[in-house]
Amino acid sequence: MQKVYIITSCTSKKSIQPKQKTQLLSYSKQFTSLDQFHVKWSKVIDNNTHKAIDLYAGVQWSSVKKALSVFHKKYDTELLIMSAGYGLINSQKLITPYSCTFSKNHLDSISQIEDSYNISQKWWDLVNRFDLSSLDKNAKVFIALSNEYLTATQKTIEDLIDIYQDNLFIISTSKSDLPPKIKDKRLSIDSKFNVLEKGTLSSINQRALYWLSEQILKNNLTLNRKKLNLFIQKQLQHLDTYQVPKREQKDNDFLESFIQKQIEQHNITSATSGLKHLRENNLACEQKRFNALFKKVKNRILDETTHA
C-alpha cells in the first residue's frame, strides 16, 4: 500500500488548557536570548501526557483529521505536525498542553522573546530534533502550512524536497515570497478556494487539504503534480478572486467596552459568539486576545453583580 505523509502546523487552540508555565506569554520579559529561553522551555514541556492528535483542536485541526481519515481509505497515511513548541513530531507522540506559535500577532508568539527578522528559523533550529531519515523514502508527502510556518520550517521543508522531489506537494494560499525551491512544489490552490468552500482564512490550507483528499478518492486522481494541478485549476478557473474582508483593529479599552455591551445588551455569553459578532461589525481581534478580554469583562460584570 502506498505510504502518504500529511504534514501540517500545530494549532493555538487546545482541547486542554495549558498551564501557565507552558505558555510562552509567561516568559516574554524574562529572557534576553532564545538560547536561554530554550533551556527553560525544554524543561517545562517535559511532562508528556497527551497524544498530540488529541490535544490540538479547532476548525483547522478538524479538517486535518478528516483529511487523514479520507486518505486512510486508500493509503497507509501518517500525520506529522510542525509544532512551534516541539519541532516536527508524529501525531501519536505524547506531549503536554502548551501555547507557543510562530504567528507574530499572537500573545504567545516566539517574537515576544526576541525580535529579529529570522527569529522563527532560529527557534525552529533549537526545538526541532526529528530524524527525517526515519521516514519512508517512497512515500508521497502533502504539506499544508501558512506562510509563517513555511518560513519558520524552511530548512526542514527543503530537506524534505531533497528526499521526495516531485512526490512532495505543498498546499499554501499565501502570496508572500518563498524560495523558488519551495514555491515550485506548491499546488495550484489559491485564495479562490475560499469562494468554492467558505470558511475562516486561518484554516484555509487545512480545509483545502481535506477537500483535495476527497477529490483524490472520489475522482481516482493519481498522486502526480501535473494531474493534480490540472484538476485543481479546472475547479477554480471560473471563480472570482476572493476578497479579504477589511476589518478595523481596536485597542483594549474599546474592545472591553464593546464586550460589555455584547453581554449586557445583546445577551452574548461566550467568547466564540462575541468574536463572531465583533467581525460582523467589521472589527478585528486575534482570537486568543479576544478570549482573554471577554473573560476579564465577564468576570468583572459578575463580580459587580455579586457585590451590588
With 90 as the cut, is the pLDDT of residue 7 above it? yes
Pseudo-torsion of CA 284, 287, 289, 295, nearest 10°? Answer: 110
pTM, two decimal places: 0.81
Which grid coordinates are listed for 6? 500529511
- CA angle (118 as vertex; 117, 120 as ends), nearest 5: 120
pLDDT band at residue 163 under the 50/70/90 scheme: very high
With 90 as the cut, is the pLDDT of residue 245 above it? no
- Digit-coded pLDDT (tens) for 170-183: 999 877 778 889 99
User: In the chain, what are the domain boundaries?
Assistant: 3-236, 248-306
pLDDT band at residue 10 under the 50/70/90 scheme: very high
77-81, 176-180, 195-199, 279-283: range with highest mean pLDDT: 77-81
Q: Where would I find the H helices in 58-134?
A: 59-72, 119-127
Closest to 82 (Cα-Cα) out of 126, 49, 130, 17: 130
With 70 as the cut, is the pLDDT of residue 308 above it? no
With 60 as the cut, is the pLDDT of residue 242 above it? no
